[in-house]
């Protein structure tokens, strides 16, 4: 049980760091008029667990805040992830 928790926390940390890095990198590329990170990639990282970190980063650096896909999609991803985590914890504790 402890190993699974350690792995889950490590994964959450890594995916959150990746989400922040990609968001900041995309914002910098926007200013430099360079090659951007596809929105599909950003959403995928968000849905894989980086949604909370990505949403906060986007709000702080004001990046893609006018895109409804991100301002509604990321909070929906956060809610879905919360439900999945609560379900996993519930089933792990009832064993």
Q: How far is the C-alpha of 38 from the C-alpha of 40, rounded, in Å?
A: 5
Q: What distance separates the 2 farthest-apart alpha carbons in the chain?
A: 53
Would you state the pLDDT for residue 19? 97
Total domains in the fold of the chain: 1
Would you state the pLDDT for residue 3? 87
Dihedral pair phi/psi, residue 30, rounded to 5°? -60, -45
Would you state the pLDDT for residue 78? 95
pLDDT per position as a tens digit, 15-71: 999 999 999 999 999 999 989 999 999 999 999 999 999 999 999 999 999 999 999
Q: How far is the C-alpha of 8 from the C-alpha of 15, rounded, in Å?
A: 11
Domain that holds residue 63: 2-93
- pLDDT of 95 > 80? The answer is no
């Amino acid at each position: 049980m402890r190993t699974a928790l350690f792995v889950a926390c490590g994964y959450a940390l890594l995916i959150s760091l990746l989400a922040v890095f990609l968001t900041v990198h995309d914002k910098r590329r926007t200013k430099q008029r360079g090659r951007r990170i596809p929105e599909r990639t950003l959403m995928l990282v968000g849905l894989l667990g980086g949604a909370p970190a990505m949403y906060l980063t986007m709000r702080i650096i004001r990046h893609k805040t006018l895109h409804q896909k991100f301002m509604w999609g990321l909070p929906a991803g956060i809610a879905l992830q919360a439900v999945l985590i609560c379900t996993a914890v519930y089933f792990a504790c009832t064993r």
